[in-house]
Amino acid sequence: EWRPWRALTVATAREIIALAESARAPDLAVHGRFLLLGALLERGEIGELDAQLRRQDALIDEFASPRFARHALWFQCTRAMLDGDPDRVESLAGECFAIADRLDDPDGIAIFGAQYGVAQWMRGRIDTMEQAYLDSMRADPENPVWRAVLAWLWADQGRRDEARGALAHLPP
């Protein structure tokens, strides 16, 4: 389904990239391309996504910043998901987490849990993630992602009452 805000997001991201490149601000260009990658993914424009992934990788290689390298790996991991390659998803998730851990990124474990969980789901083994998601929810009860993923997992298992209970605790 096409939504006007998606076109605005692509246009805005492209404008950020153009301004950053004209100002010779590669870090801002990387941020703009990160926004563009997300917008292209949402729109399902895979060919353009692939082209922008290649450009993003080249930019990051150019100034070798680990904080940006993990962002590129996030999208490579997402691309591996689209390709249906759980082994590559798992490998890239591990690389992302290693960088996030070195940078003390507080979101690193959540990103890893999501990426690794998708790899397990692709293999038909998402049930193996339940305890990790429960532990994460207990460790970070204010983060709604854990309740949301547990609700999905429990609904998938047919545990509707537990899924409803998890959803009831999500913010509106």
Is pLDDT above 70 for 5?
A: no
Weakest-pLDDT range from 9-23, 25-39, 93-107:
25-39
Reported as a single tens digit per residue, the pLDDT across 76-105 is 899 999 999 999 999 999 999 999 999 898
Structural tokens at position 69: 């390298």
Is pLDDT above 70 for 151?
A: yes
Q: Who's near 154: CB < 8 A, 6+ residues apart?
A: 160, 162, 163, 166
pLDDT at site 4? 60
Name the helix (H) or strand (E) containing 33: helix 26-43
Structural tokens at position 73: 């790996």
Cβ 153 vs Cβ 126: under 8 Å: yes
Q: Residue 94: is it exposed, middle or buried by C-beta count within 10 angstroms (0-12/13-18/19+)?
A: middle
Is pLDDT above 60 for 40?
A: yes
Q: What is the largest CA-CA distance in the chain?
A: 55
Q: How far is CA 98 from the centre of its chain?
A: 15
